Structure 1
Amino acid sequence: MRATTGKALLATAAALLASAGAMAQSSVTLYGQVDTYVGSSRAAGGQRAWQVGAGGMQTSYWGIKGTEDLGNGLKTIFDLNGFYRADQGAMGRFTGDTMFSRSAFVGLQSDKAGTIRLGRNTTPYFISTILFNPLVDSYVFAPSIFHTYFTARSGAVYDPGIIGDSGWSNSLVYSTPNFGGLTANFIYAFGEQAGDNGKNKWGGNVLYFNGPFAATVAFQQVKFNSVPGDVTSPAALAGFDKQNAVQVGLSYDFKVVKLFAQGQYIKSNVNNTIGDIKHTNGQLGASVPIGAGSVLVSYAYDKTKNNVGDFNRNTVGIAYDYNLSKRTDLYAAYFYDKLSGQSHGDSLGVGIRHKF
């Protein structure tokens, strides 16, 4: 009886150890950040409005991600990640945004073969945009974001900005392993239309990081068979066919200052009398460490034209970001935006951001 009991205990102990080993090879993490600010904004020609705003330096998000070690350098990965607005307690970046609009994918990661992800993925083009300007992905204060992802209009010229959002649904992404600081990422989003696979999106980027120096080249093409729903002025884009965008970026960290530069060309093919929309812009920026924080400065210039006219755009963003800890920072920022033929618009705010 005792021998039997001893064997049972050994078997139980072995099972527990095996279970512990299996659990050690898997992990699930809850993560995200909260960002709110007090400030005001004024559209060109409009009145100033004061507010408690959401996502001053970065849009708030939360997510669940995890991995399972399959052995031989291979892992299963997943990420379910959504935006929210802390000022209202509402999901998404705007009313109607999906629950996991930031990312929702499952995939495989290999040390030797690279990574593949299936689902909704952040585009490589967006990654290149935010890595090479000092205000990163602030949709309130970053000139690069405004010149790339926001619409603009002056006179007879309408600029839709990048069409297709910063994340693509129904997409497949492949990322190469790191080759001495060099990586590449490729994305394809299926049109999912019966009998027509041509109405789709594809793109990619190349990233290089070597000590203080970094560089990128990114490209994407978006095709539609009708004016896409995220274009807010369909009448201006009747006959819209496709959009091509290319971007280059550089940065160098001198320790006392980190410098950034970007150049971008976006062409939207429009088959009407107004003609193709051609957008060319550049951005220069700097991050200067001061005390426990950094002064962030960015300037962007843009010229957009079609067959009937053109406009120029000058945009400046400046901020001081102060670190209270590794996970919490305070910031104060100002944004100035001027299109030719219009009075300027601006935004200012003081906020707090916490990562968890």
Structure 2
Amino acid sequence: MKKTLIAIAALAAFSVSYAQSSVTLFGVIDTGITYGSASPGSNLWQLSSGEWSGSRIGFRGREDLGGGLAAGFHLEAGFDSDSGVGKSTSENNVTKAGGDGIGFNRRATISLMGSWGELRLGRDKNPLYDGFNDFDPFGGDTVAAAYMWQAGREMYNNTTAVKRVSNSIGYLLPKGLGGFYGRAMVATGENSDPSNLNATTNTAYKGDGDYAGFYAGYDNNGKGPFTAGVSYGKTQYGYNIAKTKGGNLTNWQIGATYDFGVVKLWGLYSNDTVGQSVAHQELNGNGWSLGLTAPMGSGNLAASYSTYKWDAGYTQAGKPFYAGTPNGDKYSVGYFYSMSKRTWLYGALGYINVKDGLNTPLGGSTFNTGFTSGNSTGVDLGIRHSF
């Protein structure tokens, strides 16, 4: 009896603390069957996690400070729902996040909010990433995502700060600006001075992983048929050989949507520039996508076409950097069926044809590494539940 009373008292104390802190537990579990094939002759079947939405668990909270001010926090950890393996994070915006250790890799921020907007510190989504997802009919997920934009970053093989950024300081405009919104971010890789490094190692230079970017747009507060946005980001990356700084990655995008009721149209254009390095002169690539979504029964049908091309580029000796002009096209279709507000079934199909050495992923969490020249096909069948 005494133990029971102690347990009840402990639960009551926790409930009071929980209410005072306004803490919310939330998450997503997304699991499905995925198939992918790439010419010549390779294929893969597997149970996968996070094809539509990354599986995650998190905590967020808010405290009113008075005078119109509030403090808040957001901790969000990704994991593989098919295996239970947690996701680690990247501390310096250079090394890629890995697995086998739970960490708040998706977001770990503390905020101060008021009528002037929000100041946010920590690890957060890159504004450029939001600027892509908001104008892809697949939201940047599944094998059907308009993922040709990723070709620009995969060719350079430095995608760490393209999605999420550590050590960031961000500012978000307040709501109530007539449908206009925006956010800006700066971050540091917190890497050492190059004079202390071995030029033959892959250790990051001072300044590597430093990032600056923004995303601004208009959505009429979600009440109108038209939305538009522009986003920009620049991440510094250096080459250690000969201690020569270069290879900085600069990206910008512009997108728009228009909802006719029976069908919604989506469009996006992206441009990528890789700065000079000891290996090459400046490299440039660009791509675009067009898509549509339409309500169908208890769900939504989505389809898109996307394309991407790199210029051939030149080495520092003036020779072609690529043998041709790496390029590719992607065709996608999918259906998302609502079983309830929190539970969905989905199916998606993506087909890519890449040429002249373009290295691009199909998309989704399973095929997020590149296939070389040839044809690639991916299929997702899954279920997503949020809480």
| Structure 1 and Structure 2 fold alike (TM over 0.5) | yes
Aligned residues: 321
- Rounded to whole Å, the distance in 2 between the matches of 1:87 and 1:24 is 33
Higher mean alpha-carbon deviation, 24-33 vs 82-91, is at 24-33
CA contact (8 A) 1:222 1:244 kept: yes
- The equivalent of 1:121 in structure 2 is 124
Task: Kindly provide the amino acid, as one letter, of the partner of residue 168 in structure 2.
Answer: S
The structure 2 residue matched to 1:313, chosen from 304, 328, 332, is 328
1:209 aligns with 2:213: no
- Aligned pair 1:340/2:355, yes or no? yes
- Which of 134, 147, 150 aligns to 2:149? It is 147
Aligned partners of 1:38, 1:180: CA distance in 2, in Å?
Answer: 43
2 CA distance for matches of 1:59 and 1:316? 23
**Residue in structure 2 matched with residue 289 of structure 1 by the alignment:** 295
Judged with a 3 Å threshold, the aligned counterparts in structure 2 of structure 1 residues 345 and 195 are, in CA distance, closer, same or farther, namely closer
Match of 2:12 in 1: none
| Cα drift, residue 88 of structure 1 | 1.1
What aligned pairs does 1:93-132 form with structure 2 within 5 A after superposition? 94-95=98-99, 99-110=103-114, 112-132=115-135
Bigger mean CA offset, 199-208 vs 271-280: 271-280
Which of 224, 227, 239 is the equivalent residue of 2:237? 224
Measure, in 1, the Cα distance between the counterparts of 2:81 and 2:50. 8
* Per-residue CA distance 1:99-130 (angstroms, 9 max, x = gap): 111100101111x2100111101111111111
Residue by residue over 1:216-254, the C-alpha shift from the partner in whole angstroms, topping out at 9 and shown as x without a partner, is 010011113446xxxxxx9xxx96431111100101111
1:137 is the counterpart of 2:132 = no
Q: Which has the higher strand share?
A: 1
Q: Which runs of 4+ in 1 moved over 6 A?
A: none
Aligned residue runs from structure 1 range 31-110, under 5 A: 31-92=26-87, 94-95=98-99, 99-110=103-114
Residue from 281, 290, 293 that aligns with 1:275: 281
Bigger mean CA offset, 186-195 vs 117-126: 186-195
Q: 2 CA distance for matches of 1:277 and 1:44?
A: 27
Cα distance in 2 for residues equivalent to 1:217 and 1:165: 15
2:181 maps to 1:183: yes
- Does 2:342 align with 1:327? yes
1:256 and 1:97 mapped to 2: Cα distance? 45
TM-score by length of 1: 0.83
Which residue is equivalent to 1:155? none
What is the deviation of 1:150? 7.4
Give the Å deviation of 1:206: 0.4
Q: Is the 8 A contact 1:159 1:279 kept in 2?
A: no
Instruction: Measure the CA separation in 1 of the matches of 2:353 and 2:281.
Output: 24
Distance 1:281 1:96, change over 3 A: farther
Contact 1:128 1:217 in 2 (8 A): yes
Quickly say closer, same or farther: Cα 1:149–1:69, change in 2 above 3 A.
Answer: farther
Q: For residue 95 of structure 1, give the secondary structure of its aligned residue in structure 2.
A: coil
| CA–CA separation in structure 1 for the residues paired with 2:250 and 2:101 | 25
Residue aligned with 2:247, SS: strand
CA drift at 1:349:
2.1
- Cα distance change of structure 1 residues 86 and 122 upon mapping to structure 2, 3 Å threshold: same
Q: Structure 2, unaligned stretches of length 5 or more? A: 1-14, 88-96, 195-205, 315-319, 357-372
Kindly state the Cα deviation for residue 66 of structure 1 after the two structures are TM-superposed.
0.5
Cα RMSD (Å) of the superposition? 2.5
- Judged with a 3 Å threshold, the aligned counterparts in structure 2 of structure 1 residues 85 and 70 are, in CA distance, closer, same or farther, namely same
Offset at residue 255 of structure 1 (A): 1.3
The more displaced of 333-342 and 292-301 is 333-342
What displacement does 1:270 show?
A: 3.1
Change in 2 beyond 3 A, CA 1:143/1:248: same
Q: What stretches of structure 1 of length at least 5 have no aligned partner?
A: 1-18, 153-157, 228-233
TM-score scaled by structure 2? 0.77
Whether the 8 Å CA contact 1:149–1:161 is kept in 2: the answer is no
